[in-house]
Amino acid sequence: MSKRPPFDVIGKYRVEAMIGQGAMGVVYKGFDPDIERPVAIKMLHSHLVSSGDESSLLARFRQEAQAAARCLHTNIVTVFDYGVIDHSPYMVMEFVDGIDLRSFLRESVTLTFKQMMDLVIQVLEALDYAHRQGVVHRDIKPANILLLDSGQVKVTDFGVAKLDTSELTHVGDVIGTPSYMSPEALRGDIVDGRSDLYSAGIVLLELLSGDRPQKKGVNWDDADIAKAVQRSHRLPPSLDAEFTRLISRALSGDPSQRFATGQDFAVELKALTSPNQVYVPELNDLAATVLQSKQTSALRRPADGGVPTSGTSPSQVSLSPEISQILSQNLARFLGPMASHMIRATASQSVSLQDMIERLSKRIPSEDERREFLNSLNKTGVHAMHSDSLASGSGGSGAAGASVPRQPSLELSQESIQKLTQLLAYHVGPLASRIVRKSLQGARNLDELHQALAENIPGMPERSEFLSKVRSR
């Protein structure tokens, strides 16, 4: 739940809400006025900065910014800026509208075997890139893995990351989350990228078994791993032995016996996931499951922070089948089969049809494709059906189901109605027949009918073209 921040700006960035906090710092949602984009701003807690260990904390926070800034990768949260205000350092990052894997696992939504593999492989590709930049994350765990509505995964929080040139971390420093830490990290030894791969192996084992690992500080043996693997209801039984072998290697107590790189780990996962064929990620399927989880989470945690009332739904927009079909057909051109899932999830978060369309457009990553999507919707006339797309809650017609006398329908032959529909369909698409039927109810003559129909056409030139054609007939 977001909270109101104690100030309005940090540097040049407008502060909009508090979106999270931990032992070391707080994260705000902000806005960059220069390039007009949302950002996340992470700032150290003021009481820590004012403590006696100020120089060490400032150095570590700056190191985090440097570590993350090195990592320009699609599966790593990007750092844009760094600064200090009144001795309090802040870091400006990409704003990611996602759900962390820890929260995801707490919901009732489950991942298929392929979805789990697509998720973990993205984490491994992020780690492989970071390690090649000389950065060890040192705290890989579900809470630091973000799942986006697109099915993309992003690794975040390099707060304990170690640069290979840094002197801030010494032998004896134990940094990380014990359940996911490698044996050498728990001992306080100097660690390298293989420690991160150990943690990724724990995350994979947790996904497969459905249980959070409990053997922190103790080496996993093959029997323990086999039992955990066999508890999986989504792993094909034929792969039990192969995955036991793979995870045993990832969780070896001796770093030299583990995978040397994230790429090596990912290649073997791909081979087991797609035997005898090229591995192809199916991110649309993962995206649909993420959206379902976020919708479940919204039902449990209302925006006002209160306890959900039995029978209460956050859904604000109820779409008719016709409107849903129009939206799905247009969105599927850009987002594929996940479009229908995204439409249902977005409807639960929207307060109006226009708000919903704007939210859907933001799911399309390309600006040109986003514009094309909005233009294609304008041509369908979907905006004109706004009042019909909202649920009345009573099954009646009118703004609130009120009984309002209707004007007698204008009498036209079926041939005339069909011709009008064809002319209008050229401008607004498949909604034309519905618009014609609705407009007939209130029109007293042909001129009123033509004007009413023309109002559903976006753009004055197209309206004039339509009126010219219908009046010439």
What's the chain's length in residues? 473
Task: Write down the residue that tokens 């894997």 correspond to.
Answer: 101
The answer to whether 139 is a known catalytic residue is yes
- Measured distance CA(160)–CA(138) in Å, rounded: 6
**What percent of the chain has pLDDT above 70?**
73
183 and 153 Cβ atoms separated by less than 8 Å: no
- Measured distance CA(4)–CA(17) in Å, rounded: 5
Q: Is the pLDDT of residue 379 over 80?
A: no
The reply to whether domains 9-94 and 98-283 share a CATH topology is no
Each domain of the chain, given as residue ranges in start order, spans 9-94, 98-283, 315-389, 414-471
The yes/no answer on whether domain 9-94 falls in CATH 2.40.50.140 is: no
CATH code for the domain defined by 98-283: 1.10.510.10
- Measured distance CA(112)–CA(117) in Å, rounded: 9
CB contact set of 404 (below 8 Å; sequence gap of 6+):
398
pLDDT confidence of residue 411: 78
pTM for the model: 0.61
Structure tokens at 66: 């440097």
Catalytic hit among 32, 100, 139, 285: 139
- The pLDDT of 2-29, averaged and rounded, is 78
Strand-by-strand arrangement of the 88-94 sheet: 9-10, 13-21, 25-32, 37-44, 88-94, 79-85
- The pLDDT of 426-441, averaged and rounded, is 70
Condensed to tens digits (0 to 9), the pLDDT of residues 186-204 reads 888 888 999 999 999 999 9
Q: Is the pLDDT of residue 32 over 90?
A: yes
Q: In 3D, which of 57, 9, 7, 69 has the Cα closest to residue 33?
A: 9
- Measured distance CA(144)–CA(100) in Å, rounded: 7
